[in-house]
Amino acid sequence: MSLSMYQASVPVFVRGLTVLAALLEKAAAHAQAAGIDPSQLVNARLAPDMYPLSGQIQRASDASKFAVQRLTQGDAPKFPDDETTLAQLQQRIAGTIAYLQSVTPEQIDGAEGRKVTLNWGEFKPEFQGDSYLLTFALPNFYFHVTTAYGILRQAGVPIGKLDFLGPYPQ
């Protein structure tokens, strides 16, 4: 049995974003229990030259929605990257998930051979659709999900590996 482009993308992105939403819930509960300002978590970062938690959530959102946009050759919603609270980050995640869930298998399946070109100044790599998804889009997405987890863990939020892996399908 083969794995479709849809199966390898949309449900994977939705699961990762759902995990991020659950991590943010735990972050909010931790902030309340510890009596800290939640904005400390929103602005926390692992290193000075890395995005803070808010930027990691924004990049995970962008990585997933733009990957699907490129593979479907459709349109993705635009978000202004102005979230400053945990609640706003939750809304960003919810909006991204809603977009992803609006995409049908028929829109993305068959994108394996579709040409995808990124355009970031001097950096203009070209991919075939399947290579783009597997070697760029998914690793990029999980980099930001993992970094968000690391920021929260370093900030003292009581999360562990099972929180990162999320609930297992029944």
Total number of residues shown for the chain: 170
Question: b vs e for 61-70, b when ≥16 Cβ sit within 10 Å of the residue's Cβ?
Answer: bbbbbebbbb
Enter the pTM of the model: 0.94
- Given CA atoms 129, 135, 137, 142 in this order, what sign does their dihedral have? positive
Rounded Cα distance, 129 and 71, in Å? 6
pLDDT by residue, tens only, the chain of 170 residues: 689 999 999 999 999 999 999 999 999 999 999 999 999 999 999 999 999 999 999 999 999 999 999 999 999 999 999 999 999 999 999 999 999 999 999 999 999 999 999 988 998 999 999 999 999 999 999 999 999 999 999 999 999 999 999 876 65
Q: How high is the pLDDT of residue 170?
A: 54
